[in-house]
Each structure stands twice: as C-alpha cells, then as structure tokens.
Amino acid sequence: MKHLEFVKKATLVAVASFALVSCRDTDSVVGVEEQGVVQKDVISNITNNVIISTYQDLNQKALHLKNKIDEMTVGNEQALLAARQAWIEARSPWEKSEGFLYGPVDTEGLDPALDTWPVDVQGMNNIINGNQTITAGLIAANNEVRGFHLIEYLLWGEDGNKQAHQFTPREIEYLKAAAQDLQNNTQKLHLGWITSGGNFAQYFLNPNPNSPAYKSEKDVLVEITDGIFTICDEVANTKIAEPLTGDNQAPAPEKEESRFSHNSKKDFSDNIRSVKNIYLGVYGNGGNGKGISNVVKEKNAALDNEIRLQIDEAIMAIDAIPGTFSSAIFNNRPEVMYAQEKVAKLMDTIEKKLKPFINNL
C-alpha cells in the first residue's frame, strides 16, 4: 500500500514537473512569436507610413516648387518670394528623410543628385554664359550644378538678398531646368520604394534567407538603426562642427549648408525629427506609432525613455540657437556648442546602447 502511494506521488510530481517545463517552453515560444510580430509591425509601419510617406510628401512639394519657379520672370518679386517659400517647404521633407539614406537614394545616386554641397558656381556660370538651351538633361551630368543648393543659390544669391530685377533670363532658364531635374529625382526616389515602381519596400517587408538584401527582420532593424545613427553623426560632427570650428577652431562660414536661405537651423532640427519619426513610427499625422521605440521598450523601458528624452532635447537645443546659424557661429557660440553636444549625446546613446540592443535581438 505504501509502495502504491509512493508511486502515485512520484507520478504526480513527474506530471507536474513536465507541465511546468512545457508551460515554460510554451511561454518562451509565445514570447519569441510576439517579438516577431512586433518587429514585423514596426517595420511595416516605418516602411509604409514613415519612409514612403516622407518621399511622397517630398515629391509633391518638389512639384510645387517646380510650378512656382515656372512662374518666375525677370523683375517679378512676388513670384520670387513664392518660389523661395516653396523651396523651404520642399527642403523640409528632404531633411526629414536623411535618417534613412539607404535603398534607392543610395544605390541610384539620388542623394548627390539632390543635395550635393558645395555648389560649383563656376560650373553653373559656364552653363549660364554659354549658348546651349539649358535643360534638366544638360545639368544632370554634374551633381555640383544641380539639386537643392544650386536652386537655393540662384533664388537667394551669394548674399542671401537677391532682388527679382537682378535676375537674367538665362538664370531663370537655369532655375526652371534645375527645378525640373530636382522633381525628376524626387519622383524616382518615391517610385523606387513603391510597388508600382522599383518596390524596394519588398526587401524591408519580406526579409528571408534568399533575399539579396535582408535575411531577417533583425537585419532590417539594424539598417534602420544605422540610418538614424549616421544622420546624428553628420549633424553633430559635420553640419554643425565644420562651420563652427572648421577654420582652426574658428568659424568657417563658407562650410555652412543652406546659408544663402538661412535655413540651416531648420535643416538640422528636421534631421533630428527624421530620427524621431523613425523612432516613434510617425510622419505628420500619419503612422500608427509603431517605431523602434516599440521594440526597445518591450525589454528596456529605461533605454526607450532615455532616447525619447535625448531626441527632444537635441531638437529644442537646435531651435534655441539665437538668430541665424550664420551669425550664431560668431556671436552665440556657446548655444551652438550646446546644441552640438545634445546631438552628439543622442548619437553616443544610439551607438553604445541602441545599436548593441538591436544587434542582440
């Protein structure tokens, strides 16, 4: 009898142990599956509602810029002001795309076609002073005489205050060709991601061992994280640092991007907003809020909060720089340095904490 009771107890213990192990195994599998679902949802939202939406917005605003430049004539001040405003509006989504400079923007050479700096003023003048009809095709051979900064230079002039009556017919002809070229390239960029075009999105949405691009969701998340690190690095160590200290620790104003339009601070803050959009999974009123943050906070809420705070601090510090960036690098250097430090701190956190976290998924 005692032997039978012992057998019963042993059997119950074994069954309970098996059930406990099975439960743990099941929980582990469910946890992995749930993590995979989160990653897929995050990648889908970032792809469709952040990256593609940004490029769609960019292309629409580039078309608007082209239309406004097409209305320009010598002496028409109102048309000039409208074209300048359209340039500023088109510039914003481009800068908000610089947190994801991978895919067609890289492989198709669209980044240098759209945003090469500095402008080759001599090359531009050679075309203007020539006798060829100025077309988008003519200027496409040299990235330094096309894109946002070439258009900016012509619209504002070297001193940032060019008047409508100072334009020549050939300069306006050049502007119209450059605006057409810009919009051609923003359209290529948008088409490069969508299903009716190059469909680069498929590589993000369907990673697999046979893919020529990404073998897993983790690979996609690594690419996305590298992208936001890269733009933080560029803002801190190139876009801010070079004009601030590029002349043997003294200001080097000629190294400032967007200085003709005095749009540099907006460029920088939009670059960090690009990071924010990717991290939070939003663009304007779009996106469902599933971003890299969702992947991080599942396992490390403290790191998620740290990154969110540092993103906002970097944007606020840039926006708080007094006046124009052109004057601030001379007259408000502590504020510029503070903004640079905030961006560098965010960059450091992404490099030393976020990237290892993603790599260890």
| Structural domain ending residue among the three candidates 136, 169, 192 | 192
Residues 6+ apart with CB under 8 A from 150: 119, 124, 139, 144, 178
CA 228 – CA 343 distance, rounded (Å)? 12
Domain co-membership, 216 together with 346? yes
Residues 6+ apart with CB under 8 A from 91: 148, 258, 261, 263, 266, 267, 270
Domain co-membership, 213 together with 87? no
Domain co-membership, 277 together with 150? no
Residues of the chain with pLDDT under 50: 1-4, 6-30
Specify if 16 maps to a domain.
no
Domain co-membership, 292 together with 172? no
Domain co-membership, 128 together with 57? yes
Please state the separation of Cα 37 from the chain's center in Å: 25
Q: Tokens 């200001």 — which residue?
A: 251
Residue 250 sits at φ, ψ, to 5 deg, of -105, 165
Domain co-membership, 244 together with 335? yes
Residue 32: per-residue pLDDT: 52
| Structural domain ending residue among the three candidates 126, 158, 192 | 192
Q: Sign of dihedral through CA atoms 117, 120, 125, 128?
A: negative
Residue 288: per-residue pLDDT: 79
| Structural domain ending residue among the three candidates 192, 216, 239 | 192
Specify if 273 maps to a domain.
yes
Residue 244: per-residue pLDDT: 99
Specify if 13 maps to a domain.
no
CA 207 – CA 91 distance, rounded (Å)? 32
Residue 218: per-residue pLDDT: 98
Q: Which two tokens stand for residue 25?
A: 């195994």
Residue 310: per-residue pLDDT: 99
Q: Which domain holds residue 94?
A: 47-192
Domain co-membership, 236 together with 182? no
Q: Domain count of the chain?
A: 2
Specify if 1 maps to a domain.
no
Predicted TM-score (pTM) of the model is: 0.91
CA 274 – CA 27 distance, rounded (Å)? 36
Q: Which CATH number is 97's domain given?
A: 1.20.1420.20
CA 76 – CA 256 distance, rounded (Å)? 29
CA-nearest of 184, 356, 152 to 261 is 152
Domain co-membership, 133 together with 250? no
Domain co-membership, 186 together with 271? no
Domain co-membership, 222 together with 361? yes
**Contact of 134 with 150, CB cutoff 8 Å:** no
Residue 1: per-residue pLDDT: 46
Amino acid at 131: N
Domain co-membership, 178 together with 267? no
Residue 36: per-residue pLDDT: 72
Specify if 308 maps to a domain.
yes
Domain co-membership, 265 together with 181? no
CA-nearest of 12, 31, 35, 34 to 23 is 31
Specify if 36 maps to a domain.
no
Reported as a single tens digit per residue, the pLDDT across 84-141 is 999 999 999 999 999 999 999 999 999 999 999 999 999 999 999 999 999 999 999 9
